[in-house]
Amino acid sequence: MVEPGELAALIERYAPTDGDHKVCEKASLHRASQPSEPTHGVFGAAVCVVAQGRKQVLSGGSVLVYDALNYVVASVDLPVIGQVVEASPEAPYLSFRMTLDPAVIGDLLLQLGGEPALAQDAGPLVGAMAVSQVNPPLLDAVMRMVRLIDTPRDAAVLAPLIEREILYRMLLGDQGPRLAQIARADGRMRQVKRAIGWITQHFNQPFSIEELAAEARMSPSALHRHFKAVTALSPLQYQKQIRLQEARKLILAQRLDAGSAGHAVGYDSPSQFSREYARLFGAPPLRDAARLRGRPDMLLET
């Protein structure tokens, strides 16, 4: 049987320096040798298994903490504030991350059609993120995925098979209904994801809840209710966070002034932009940018 410390030792071997290290197309490792500042970003639909250290994620007013041999599942792209809270050079934060592919999950659901917990819609939608413990079969599959770094030739063939096994183990666990909601073509989660996708692609454009509901193929009241159940944000609050994060990127990467960045992401009022930017990030745009340029480590990692 795989020992709990083996995953940490394996990740430390393949991730000798801080930052991200690619395993295959859908999977990566992350290492951090010290606690981080709270960092804003979008946590994409993924599973993250922590092997060592501890991290917390703030989303919609709720805080999720996950540490060694726990895994977090995010079912949609979600604006969050992430922070590594336990890490040191001697015992760095170490994690494995894999993006969630609805098509692969859907194919597995067809094979698991007899599973009562997965056979029908799992009732009301719940929050987009949740934490569970890693069981031995899931841990074993994750470790075999990590070891593919040694054999790139094998990875092209074996990575998709191990990806299916990881998802299979999760579907049979307490996150099964949540993963099943991701894949259902006619489910409410898919409709909420359609609305999120539209906002993400058109974040700089004004919209009405009626227009967004039509895109999601839901009634306005149903969209508002289910969108908030998943993200803990209203559609307009979600758009605002995406806008402000995109403006922050423009100010940092292209060195735009605050007025130009605000206009680029859809703000007509520079004063409103600066006010909402400071409320989210804790400082006005230019002061925040100067602070971030002195802290290149302040990027969202999982």
| Interval 27-37 mean pLDDT | 95
pLDDT for 3: 65
pLDDT digits (tens, 9 = 90+) for 204-255: 999 999 999 999 999 999 999 989 888 889 999 999 999 999 999 999 888 8
Residue 119 has pLDDT above 60, yes or no: no
CA distances from 39 to 56, 152, 211, 292 (A): 11, 33, 32, 10
Residues 32 and 53 sit within 8 Å (Cβ to Cβ) = yes
Work out the mean pLDDT of the chain and round it to a whole number: 88
* Token pair for 49: 């298994």
Please state, in angstroms and rounded to a whole number, the distance separating the CA atoms of residues 54 and 63. 13
* Token pair for 115: 């599973």
| Interval 86-114 mean pLDDT | 91
Residue 61 has pLDDT above 80, yes or no: no
pLDDT for 170: 94
Residue 98 has pLDDT above 60, yes or no: yes
Share of the chain above pLDDT 70, in %: 91
pLDDT digits (tens, 9 = 90+) for 36-58: 988 888 888 899 999 999 999 98
Kindly indicate the confidence band of residue 264, based on its pLDDT and cuts at 50, 70 and 90: very high
Kindly indicate the confidence band of residue 265, based on its pLDDT and cuts at 50, 70 and 90: very high
3-class state of residue 132 by DSSP: strand
- Quick one: 215 exposed, middle or buried, by C-beta within 10 A (0-12, 13-18, 19+)? middle
Please, what are the domains in the chain? 4-183 (2.60.120.280), 188-233 (1.10.10.60), 237-293 (1.10.10.60)
| Interval 279-302 mean pLDDT | 74
* pTM score of the predicted model: 0.83
Please state, in angstroms and rounded to a whole number, the distance separating the CA atoms of residues 296 and 279. 22
